[in-house]
Amino acid sequence: MPEELSRRLGTTDAVVVGLSAMIGAGVFAAFAPAAAAAGAWLPVALVLAGVVAYCNATSSARLAALYPESGGTYVYGRRRLGPLWGYLAGWGFTVGKTASCAAMALTFGSYLAPELARPLAVGAVAALTAVSLYGVQRSAGVARVIVVFVLAVLAAVVVTGLLGDDTVTFGWVAYVPLPASHVDVWGVLQAAGLLFFAFAGYARIATLGEEVRDPARTIPRAVGIALGITFVVYALVAVAAMRALGPLLARSPAPLADVVREAGAPWLVPVVGAGAAVAALGALMALLLGVSRTVLAMARERDLPGALAVVDPVRQVPRRAELAVAGAVIVLLLVADLRGAIGFSSFGVLVYYGIANACALTLDRAEGAPPRPVAGLGLGLCVLLAATLPAASVLAGLAVFAVGLAVWLVRHHAGR
């Protein structure tokens, strides 16, 4: 029987880990491409992304309570749909999120000192891995500090954007919705897919299922609280950005910095930059935790080398999995051009949650099944939003899953 991790996280710790993943660097940049796609209908896209996130979170929370193990949808897919579906979920998550780790680390370095971005990114990965090797509670404590600081920065942005007098004259008025006949449905769906990616951090709570106390009660509560807080924060940020920037939001490379600048508080621009750097650090830490736990689960089932399944007997952490993930991220930082490396991340995460919803549809009432319309709607919307993402993201995602399927077929053919 594989060694198990220690259950040390309570509801507050789990909420903080989820928030540090969801309210990451994405909130500082995601609204610009979403506004470019949806235009005046950005709030509708945000609500749609929230609905998808709610459906996925509900399904994931019920599954995590039933299977309180490390690995998230990789575990649920194997248990409910068969080894191949679990493997595809785990493959997409591990490959995609390893690239996302590198991108978040590089984002942190770029905000802190652009000329030293890569060395700083490598240092951030090494430092956060060292913290996590001392135990998951230590990581949750660091995440708590990060979340408090980032929420304070976002509160400053919202207040400045809503109350500032120096907003552009065509701000909110320009965003009055057009008649229904002018709705760009494709643009709204594409924007929802882009914004959903920023919500997807609640998966970190599920992937830590083996380290949460009383998982049947803690995980659903933590997911619901983290998702609710994140939606409210994103809605307030969107309103403030639309009021302060109007149509300029779609063209802004740093929308939240532009919000405080246009609202008459340019002195807050460095603070926003610091918030983005710290948010990237929080997202990086949550990603490293989530990916390493999925690697642990895949190693236990021999979908990855079994040596990675070892749990440290003292610290109760998957030391080898964490070191392997950190090593892979550092290699990517040193050798890869990451500008296009994570183009498939939104596609991959939607496939991941599509599989989670499909698993939830197999549950019965005794197993804590979510309402079938919720899981069914979640599955349908995941497929729809994945299909409406930019073509480059879809093609990159399909290529990654094709490689994963080829690896699976080769391994299983060799094992016969």
pLDDT in tens, 284-298: 887 888 888 888 888
**Cα(210)–Cα(207) distance, rounded to whole angstroms?**
8
Cβ–Cβ under 8 Å, residues 220 and 65: yes
Mean pLDDT of 336-340: 62
Higher pLDDT, 306 or 139: 306
Helix and strand numbers (H, E) in the chain are: 16, 0
4 lies in a domain?
A: no
Cβ–Cβ under 8 Å, residues 69 and 209: yes
Specify the pLDDT at position 285: 81
Range of the domain at 378: 11-414
Total structural domains within the chain = 1
335 lies in a domain?
A: yes
136 lies in a domain?
A: yes
Mean pLDDT of 183-191: 82
DSSP for 126-138, please give it.
HHHHHHHHT-HHH
Specify the pLDDT at position 182: 59
257 burial (CB, 10 Å; 0-12 / 13-18 / 19+) is: buried
Mean pLDDT of 339-363: 81
Non-local CB neighbours of 47 within 8 Å, separated by 6+ positions:
none
State the CATH number of the domain containing residue 185. 1.20.1740.10
Read off the DSSP letter of residue 220.
Answer: H
In this predicted structure, the answer to whether residue 68 has a pLDDT above a threshold of 50 is yes
In this predicted structure, the answer to whether residue 414 has a pLDDT above a threshold of 70 is no
Non-local CB neighbours of 300 within 8 Å, separated by 6+ positions:
2, 306, 309
In this predicted structure, the answer to whether residue 386 has a pLDDT above a threshold of 70 is yes
In this predicted structure, the answer to whether residue 5 has a pLDDT above a threshold of 70 is no
CA distances to 76, 341, 389, 395 from 392, rounded to whole Å, are: 29, 11, 8, 5
Specify the pLDDT at position 244: 85
Q: Where are the alpha helices (DSSP H) in 246-312?
A: 255-262, 269-300
Q: Which two tokens stand for residue 343?
A: 């183009």
pLDDT in tens, 30-48: 788 888 888 888 889 999 9
Neighbouring CB atoms inside 10 A of 186's CB total 11
Cβ–Cβ under 8 Å, residues 120 and 112: yes
pTM of the entire structure?
0.78
What is the b/e burial string over 14-48, where b = at least 16 CB atoms within 10 angstroms of the residue's CB? bbbbbbbbbbbbbbbbbbbbbbbbbbbbbebbbbb
Specify the pLDDT at position 167: 47
In this predicted structure, the answer to whether residue 12 has a pLDDT above a threshold of 70 is yes
Residue length, the chain? 416
3 lies in a domain?
A: no
Residue 4 CA from chain centroid, whole number: 25
Q: Which two tokens stand for residue 237?
A: 């940020």
pLDDT in tens, 227-243: 888 899 989 998 888 88
Specify the pLDDT at position 125: 92
In this predicted structure, the answer to whether residue 341 has a pLDDT above a threshold of 60 is no
The percent of residues above 70 in pLDDT, for the chain, comes to: 84
pLDDT in tens, 158-170: 999 888 655 444 4
